[in-house]
Amino acid sequence: MRPFDYQRIGAVEEIGAQASDRASFLAGGTNLVDLMKHEIETPEQLLDISRLDLARIEDGEDGSLQVGTLVTNTALASDARVRQRWPLLSAALLAGATAQLRNRATTGGNLLQRTRCYYFYDTARPCNKRNPGEGCGAFSGHNRIHAILGASEQCIATHPSDMAVAMVALDAGVRLRAPDGSERELPVEELHRLPGDEPQRDTVLAPGELITWVHLPAPPPGRQVYRKVRDRSSYAFALVSVGVILALKDGTVSSVRIAFGGVAHKPWRARKAEAALQGRPATEEAFLKAANAELADAKGYGGNDFKIPLARRTLVAVLRDAAGKTGEARA
Amino acid sequence: MMNPAAIGQPFDRVDGPLKVSGAATYAAEHPLDHQPLVGWIVEATIPAGRIKALETSAAEASAGVVAVLTHRNSPSQVPFGEPDDEGRFTQSRAMLGSDHIRYHGFPVALVIADTLANARHAAGLVEVTCEPADAVTAAGEEADEKPDELDGGLEADITRGDFEQAYSSAEVTLDVTYSTPNQAAAAMEPHATMAVYDGNELWVYTSVQLIGPAVQVLANTLKLNPDRIRVLSPYIGGGFGSKLGLHNEAILACLGAMYLERPVKVVQHRRQVFHNAPHRGNSVQRIRLGASRDGKLQAISHESFMPTARGYAFAEPSGAPARTTYRTDALVSRHRVKTVDMSLIDSCRAPGHAIGSLAFESAIDEMAYRCGQDPVEFRLANMPEKDPGSGKPFSSHDLAECLREGAARFGWGKRQPQGEVRGRQLVGYGVASTIRMNILVKSKTRIRLSADGTLTAWANMTDIGTGTYTILTQVAADLLGLPAERIEIELGDSAYPASCGSGGSFGAGSSGSALRDACLRLREKLVEIARKQESLKDADFDGALFEGGKLVLGSKQVSLTELVRQGGPDYLEADGKVAPGEDRGKYSQHSYGAQFAEVHVDRDTGEVRVQRLLGVFSAGRILNRKTARSQLLGGMVWGVSYALLEELMLDERYGAFMNRDFAEYHLAVNRDIPEVEIHFREQPDMRSNPLGSKGIGELSISGAGAAVANAVYHATGVRVRDFPITLDKLLEQLP
């Protein structure tokens, strides 16, 4: 770990010019501290925001919910309102990490966790995300857990969050505060970016910008189902995960939202699949067509080729569950 | 009244409270008068070559750094691997001895500082420039070197009968190739050592399974007289073979302590353990079987191809199960290795049988289906009369009964031959035979009964989490009729009598038998003292019993403390020992088991989840039904892990395992393991050792994985021959 300065922040207003690209915000620390020990992250300054008054969940307008950035994953997953009206989010949170980590990890930190790519973690190996221009070890190496959608030759890493997948499906937004005190809002879907030729940038956050709140709009109608497919039944990142909110009217899809996890550099909103389903009869055939529409551009890199059929099969299965076709809903 | 600590009782671990309260001091936790310095290993990042330049000044100038040890300044050592005529656990393990890089992760420097954080940070400031050499990092079917011998002294090749003839004339044949990946021992406690050197004596607090060889390897590496070396390893957080010998951090800690004459502690970081401690090499196993149409095996061939680490002679006998489990007219078993520039390859729990059974018991299952027979019936129809490999009679044989009892308990009769579909789940049942050789190793112990009634036993035996402290307490309690609270078992110190150490499932039987011998000798001494007592002149010495701290002679009795006072006066001592007897050469000795699994496979995603596991085991006399059960349970969990999860991802370009942490090296987690049923068929085998016990530590891992794999086949109709069976290998073939 590189030596660093540490400053505890008492109120958001105290954050000014010291928040820069050489500083990192510290909240739960479940990912950042690990990365600092490996000297993958080497901030010169840590701004400890863990004491800020942002660990609250508040009712918002029009049936929405405001989630403070410091709300822990456990608190968010177990909030009665979330469990009742946004069960997709609760299920996604509980599918992530372990109870110990969820007790510590925060909402903002979960959104900003970094990839689990083996080559990103091994500082002796080339990684464009860690060291731009160095090359990508995963491209012709082990890439079983890597992206099939939206990757670039520079980077085929995935975003590891489950929570973010649910948030993208639920049209959640983030409120951001810049060091000069100005604020802006952004859909979570636009927070993360594809790697392109700047894979070192996971998000569109400007230097020193802080996520202060997550906005959950009133849930759309329909059944919410989250399914995470992984090698072991706990403490494994998703090979593929799918979040679906599906409403039917007379056997026809009246409203549908779909997001994938584990397939791209960002939580992947499956708008092509949604468009293919909207207004169509909820049949196995339509589900398959929708999945194929989304995955038409999917590309494997050897070790992760299987994710393309896996994503297709999992989406079909989740849609089937959400449509009540099997009588066996699964969280 | 039955002694609650009698042999066989499910007596609670005597060291349990110490462990759960943190009072048991593991190697890195041993309290010293002064805080030790902390060393951090700088690893090579190429698989082979030389150090061209090493820039240490920035590290040396970094906060808290006391020294940076490299091949340029480290104390003089014997070159790696010498002397030639010793075994791998006592040959020099020189570290920082030259500019030669042996493998990826090989230590090129040790940064020693006041704190872990300072040492680790400074390690990042050491600049190493290497000159890479050509390296071989992967091994497969092309392996063509014949090893001198296999682990356990087995022959590399054996031939019985005319295989080619038997195979070519068989009505049903099978020719399949299985593979298993590189695997890590993944002990909970990372390899850790604290070394203290005063210019004369070297004290080494470490985590090692075999104490005697640890002293010798230090002497042979560091050019010290063994009398000046003391090795202490009272508590070990799992070893599974990866701590049989002393490993890199131990040598480095000693070099640091000798260089500075100050205590130095080196704990391997979890990521370092994957290359700085040994692993199990990958295997390719070609299996050919021939049988008559009615399912009698006539020809068995097993050919094994594995890596061996350059300069470190170890070859795993993955053909072992094929040599002993089933009858056959002809048998061929061959082992070939390929030298690789990789970190050390060595024993991992049940070397040979663990991965051999994965492949062989899967192939046997394939043959059962090919012959149109029930997998249990097929196995039962091929039980051997004598050991097919050695031709020797078995000291006892209980595999058939394990299979029968297991099938009945599991409800094998309810199995649908074609598998079952429940909703989106495919349901399958699997079975595998389990067999693991039984070994007795020379062991000594010393006991002392004090006038206050306390019995102390000493041996340089280790307890690697298996329950040795507990079962030895029980042996002494049982033989001398003492309550467990009066018994102190002292282990893990090279100053104590030489014992077998922990490994090869031989620990309990060997160290327990030596202790039993000591107790019998002490009993003789006590009886002799009693005979001289006037008051016991007419007592019934023929029916002498040791019970409740007393010597009971019919209607008369005398307390053991009284006898000690008369004979001691402070204490009485006795030495005990055991060594392999004639029966070892005459009989083929094994423990047995039959394992059953039910799995569900998701039709959509291919996810395999184990629903039930059941094992019936026959391992002689069980010394403690609780710790024995725990051993078997652990092996079954590991079997699930081998079947479905574990794989070190080797990147051949770098000779590096890429998933060097427990987030990405997938072991089974609690949620992956269903209810597990374990049953014992208790049949003391007095040819095994004087206690009648047999090895259990490596028994259940030798078959559990194959039972799961066979259940996956039954559920899906897909036979995955490349372990682990991850969902990608099933997905596109699911019905």
Tell me the per-residue pLDDT of B155-166, one tens digit each, with 9 for 90 and over. Answer: 999 999 999 999
How do residues A131-182 score in pLDDT, each as one tens digit? 999 999 999 999 999 999 999 999 999 999 999 999 999 999 999 999 999 9
Summarize pLDDT for A216-265 with one digit per residue, the tens.
Answer: 999 999 999 999 999 999 999 999 999 999 999 999 999 999 999 999 99
Identify the domain containing residue B415 by its residue range: 151-182+280-439+585-733
**Phi, psi for A303 (deg, rounded to 5):** -65, -25
B121, A3: Cβ pair inside 8 Å? yes
Helices (H), A170-283: 188-191, 271-277
- The CATH number of residue B707's host domain is 3.30.365.10
Same domain membership, residue B73 and residue B127: yes
Last residue of a domain, one of B550, B579, B608: B579
Q: Is residue B471 part of a domain?
A: yes
Q: In chain B, which residues have their Cβ closer than 8 Å to the Cβ of A314?
A: 604-605
Q: Is residue B2 part of a domain?
A: no
B538 and B574, same domain (yes or no): yes
Mean pLDDT of A109-126: 98
**Contact yes or no for A37 and B424 at CB 8 A:** no
Token pair in block for residue B441: 């190793």
Which listed residue (B201, B488, B698, B732) is catalytic? B698
Shared-domain flag, residues B309 and B366: yes
Share above pLDDT 90 across residues of chain A, in percent, rounded to a whole number: 97
Nearest chain A CA: its distance from B41 CA (Å): 14
The answer to the question of residue B296 being in a domain is yes
User: Is B698 annotated as catalytic?
Assistant: yes
Window 178-217 of A, Cβ < 8 Å to B: none
- CB-based contact, A316 to chain B, within 8 Å: yes
Distance from CA of B50 to the nearest CA of A (A): 17
Q: Is residue B143 part of a domain?
A: no
Local structure of B360: helix, strand or coil: helix
> At how many degrees (to 10) do helices B560-567 and B507-531 cross?
70
Residues B554 and B671 in one domain: no
Q: Say yes or no: B204 and B64 in one domain.
A: yes
- Flag if A137 and B651 touch (Cβ within 8 Å): yes
Smallest Cβ–Cβ distance between A118 and the set B653, B658, B726 belongs to B658
**Prediction ipTM score:** 0.96
Give residues 608 to 637 of B whose Cβ lies within 8 Å of A.
609
In DSSP terms, which residues pair with B308 in a beta bridge?
A: B339
Tell me the pLDDT tens digit for each residue of A262-293: 999 999 999 999 999 999 999 999 999 999 99
A231–chain B Cβ distance below 8 A for any pair: yes
Contact A141 B653 (CB under 8 A): yes
* B525 and B434 assigned to the same domain: no
Name beta bridge partners: B291: B172, B297
Which among B277, B305, B333 is the end of a domain?
B277
Report yes or no: A117 at the B interface, CB cutoff 8 Å. Answer: no
Q: Which of A103, A270, A86, A104 is nearest to A166 (CA)?
A: A86
Chain A interface, mutation test: which of B599, B722, B728, most A Cβ atoms within 10 Å?
B728
Are both B95 and B38 inside the same structural domain? Answer: yes
Give the residue from B602, B610, B657, B658 with the most A CB atoms within 10 Å of its CB, the best one to mutate.
Answer: B658
pLDDT given at position A326: 54
Prior bond of B83 cis (ω within 30°):
yes
Residues B310 and B166 reside in one and the same domain? yes
Binary contact (B731, A314; C-beta < 8 A): no
Nearest CA in chain A to B46: A124
Please report how many Cα atoms fall inside a 13 Å half-sphere around the Cα of residue A69, on the Cβ side: 24
Helices B468-480, B507-531: axis angle to 10 degrees equals 30
Domains identified in chain A and CATH numbers: 5-50 (3.30.43.10), 223-322 (3.30.390.50)
Let me know if residue B111 belongs to a domain: yes
Domain membership of residue B630 (yes or no) is yes
Q: Are residues B715 and B668 in the same domain?
A: yes
Residue type (1 letter), B538: D
Low-confidence ranges of chain B (pLDDT < 50): none
Is the same domain home to B366 and B398? yes
Residue A37 C-alpha from the chain's centroid? 24
Q: Does residue B255 share a domain with residue B301?
A: no
The whole-angstrom distance between A2's CA and the closest CA on chain B is 6
Per DSSP, the three-state class of B709 is helix
Count of domains for chain B: 3
Domain boundary among B558, B579, B600: B579
Please say if the pLDDT value at position A331 is more than 90. no
| pLDDT over 80 (residue A329) | no
- On whether residue B4 sits in a domain, the answer given is no
Residue A326 near chain B (CB below 8 Å):
yes
Contact B659 A118 (CB under 8 A): yes
The reply to whether B304 and B256 lie within a common domain is: no
Distance CA B449, CA B457 (A): 9
Contacting residues of B for A312, CB less than 8 Å apart: none
| Residue B6 within any structural domain of the chain | no
Closest in A116, A125, A237 to B654, CB measured:
A125
Among A37, A142, A229, the residue with its CB nearest the CB of B649 is A142
